[in-house]
Structure 1
Amino acid sequence: MAAYYSQPAAANYYTPSPHSHTQKQRGYRICDNCNAVENPASKFRLCGGCMTTQYCTQECQKSHWPSHKPICQHTAAQMSNAKPGPGFQDENISKHLRKFTSAHATLLGWAGFQALQLKRVPANVRQHALLVELAPNNHPDSHRRFSVAGAQVVPRTYVTSHDPLVAADIQRREERCRQNGGIGTAVILIQCGGVSQVMPVEVDPPSKISWDERSDWADVLRHFVESGRTDFKPISTTSRGVIYG
């Protein structure tokens, strides 16, 4: 029997919530240098090379560069050298994929949290990963140049066994996350043809994340990607009521 939900999985599924700008984003986005948590007053910046590592300030980004340089340059080179595969005409697909991942980071992180069922089984973060397969679209906006062709849970080794540097970076994040009280790093692999982007997400303990558990995460993922919206905000139902964002 299909699950029934009295409200959409996202607070702004149909229209943006008027309350979303006042709520603190929870669950991830930690400065890779000083471990500060992102909040509405301090918008994080992404590394322009790998488009996955984030920093709270330009000073933190500069300070972290010596240790981040190897994995950043490796990731950027892997993306640039990847071949899209038969039927793919756009040579800039790797650049578009990085921009897509950055634009939909909140949505992809939420989908990974739901797909791996981390609220119910936190240990899944160490065993599984979310694979999001994309198909190219001919659209002028970078975040709309793809549609979701499929999404499935795969063994985490599907991502980590192919690239030692990527595996080491995920392990570093995993250890840092646990030291800070989190459960580990969720791994999301965004793939289009022969080009892929790994998105690691450090996850708080379930007790600190009140996002509603959803089995319709794949439908929500498709809805926001297909409509080109990058303002996704999940719903959290708490004893204090419904929280947006």
Structure 2
Amino acid sequence: MSAMGSVPSNTTETSSTDTIEGLGATKQPDFKGQSRVLKKCHWCMKKQDPNEEPFKACGQCKEVIYCSRECQRASWPHHKTACKVNREQKAAFDQAGVSEDVKTFKKWHSLHIEIFKHAIVCALDLGKDPKNVDSGYLFIEVKRKPNHADLPMKRKFELIEGVIFTPEETLEMLGAQGKMVLDNTKRQGEYMKAKGGIGMAPIIMKYGGVVDIVNFILPKPEGAKLMQKQNNWGKEWAINLAGALQHA
């Protein structure tokens, strides 16, 4: 386990979707997933043309967008589990009165996609062996900076710790719903591998009582090798991640 700080492998923390499952809500906050932030089709990754009609969002969770009905239909068997969890999260967050806080957290991490992707590549040493993508999961915990109100969105949070959990430790930590989400990530990753990429990997991000499982589409093997050749964080990935987020 690589760490900045430490989290015991028998932690009792669970994902927020487990903790607050079943709560109702009267409002659905507008949370944007990576697909919407990057303006790319969630299935084929086609970039949205600003001069053409905007891509349509998933009618249920609103977190991802598609360039066509064909892509939406192809994606649904893989997206439906995450879609259900996303809807339950939104309802629960609104009921608990933390929707805006969570929205800020999600917006913050959506602004650092390339930094987090670099952390995954270096932490799992994917440039050396792309198969390491299935060997473990990154877990990070962040907190709001004391002066967050005076800072731009991309600098409102800072890293407290970062560790790599084995798949077994991760499932123990996240519980049944976490397993469904991770299984869904793996299925989507297989599609990316078939297209020549390394696949897809999550970072489990904890902020206060909220745990967000955020998926990242990884580069092709040659891309990962180049990333590490240019700037390899190695075993100090968590310290380097903290610095990169601090100075982004």
Q: CA deviation at 1:101?
A: 1.7
Q: Answer whether contact 2:41 2:55 (CA < 8 A) is retained.
A: no
Q: Which residue of 1 aligns with 2:148?
A: 139
Give the alignment partner of residue 165 of structure 2, picking from 149, 154, 158.
Answer: 154
Of Structure 1 and Structure 2, which has the larger fraction of its residues in strand? 1
Q: Which residue of 2 aligns with 1:222?
A: 242
What secondary structure sits across from 2:191 in the alignment? helix
Q: CA deviation at 1:115?
A: 1.0
Q: Which residue of 2 aligns with 1:9?
A: none
Q: Answer whether contact 1:80 1:94 (CA < 8 A) is retained.
A: no
Give the alignment partner of residue 104 of structure 1, picking from 101, 112, 125.
Answer: 112
Per-residue displacement from partner, 1:144-196 (whole Å, max 9, x unpaired)? 33111011111234445622431232022122012112233222111112201
- Distance in structure 2 (CA, Å) of the matches to 1:224 and 1:193: 21
Corresponding letter in the other structure for 1:139: H
What secondary structure sits across from 1:119 in the alignment? coil
Of Structure 1 and Structure 2, which has the larger fraction of its residues in helix? 2
Corresponding letter in the other structure for 2:222: S
- Distance of aligned partners of 1:79 and 1:108 in 2 relative to their CA distance in 1, 3 Å threshold: farther
What secondary structure sits across from 1:92 in the alignment? helix
Q: Which residue of 2 aligns with 1:193?
A: 208
Corresponding letter in the other structure for 2:67: E
Q: TM-score, normalised by structure 2?
A: 0.61
- Distance in structure 2 (CA, Å) of the matches to 1:193 and 1:173: 28
Q: Which residue of 1 aligns with 2:86?
A: 75
Aligned length: 191
- Distance in structure 1 (CA, Å) of the matches to 2:39 and 2:166: 24
- Distance of aligned partners of 1:139 and 1:198 in 2 relative to their CA distance in 1, 3 Å threshold: same
RMSD, aligned CA: 3.9
- Distance in structure 2 (CA, Å) of the matches to 1:177 and 1:187: 14
Q: TM-score, normalised by structure 1?
A: 0.61
Q: Answer whether contact 1:116 1:125 (CA < 8 A) is retained.
A: yes
